Amino acid sequence: MTRRPQIRCPRSTMAGFTLVELLVVTAILGLAMAAIGACLSGGIRVWDTARQFGRIESDVYLAMDRMSHDLRNSFPYYRIPFNGDGYEAAFPGLVAAEANAEPSLPGRITYWHEPATEQIMRSEFLADGDRVSDEILATGVKELKFRYAYMTDDPNPRLAEADSYQGTNAPRTVSIAITAVNPEAVSERDTWNFKRTILIPVQED
């Protein structure tokens, strides 16, 4: 009887990964993913902050341009004096007879800040006090402050500055200071300050 030769397979010399090695590799991969995620989230936050700043900056500058235009085109009007304090400025100007109409009547234009909604508002009133319209000019505004420079009525007139002003004629200049804030701000570094001084042409009664 013939005996068949037995074929033996050589034992593999390649050993598998141990549990400890797998845990170490998993931990290293986890740390790498966390670092990558932190970098990406930081970049996204920077981009979002820049986007928010661009939007708020655009709104604030447009609001300042609107204020400049209205103040420089104001005029003396006996029924409506210029009346301003640190947080609101009201003065004569041409207003619309009704909402969405062309300005054609003398009335009162008021700029003010709404703290609850952090908005800069512009309102128009007819000379009899009836409100015509309210308009939101900018959002994300934490503070709006006015300061006025005017000539005193002393025998020797001089230029004075104050946080309030009232008179038939407009002051010589109106300074505007606006503090805007990122709606998703997590620190004071996400607030921005804007300033402008508006020179008003000399007015005569």
- Half-sphere exposure for 150 (CA within 13 Å, toward CB): 19
Neighbours of 38 (CB within 10 A): 10
Give the per-residue pLDDT at 42.
56
Give the per-residue pLDDT at 97.
83
* CA atoms of 100 and 84, how far apart (whole Å): 26
Give every CB contact of residue 84 below 8 A, 6+ residues apart in sequence.
Answer: 90, 91, 146, 148, 164, 165, 166, 171, 174
Give the per-residue pLDDT at 7.
54
- Half-sphere exposure for 159 (CA within 13 Å, toward CB): 6
By CB neighbour count within 10 A (0-12 exposed, 13-18 middle, 19+ buried), where does 67 fall?
buried
Work out whether strand 103-114 and strand 88-96 pair parallel, antiparallel, or are unpaired.
Answer: antiparallel
Q: Which H or E element spans position 60?
A: helix 19-72
Amino acid at 93: G
Sign, CA torsion 108/138/59/172? positive
Give the per-residue pLDDT at 104.
84
Give the per-residue pLDDT at 150.
93
Cα torsion through 205, 122, 187, 45, rounded to 10: -130
- Each of the 205 residues of the chain gets a pLDDT tens digit; together they read 556 555 555 555 556 668 777 787 788 888 877 777 666 665 555 555 555 657 788 899 999 999 999 999 999 998 999 999 999 999 999 998 887 778 889 999 999 999 999 999 999 999 999 999 999 999 989 999 999 999 988 888 899 999 999 998 899 999 999 999 876 655 555 788 999 999 998 766 5
Phi, psi of 3 (to 5 degrees): -95, 125
Task: Look up the pTM and report it.
Answer: 0.71
Phi, psi of 16 (to 5 degrees): -80, 175
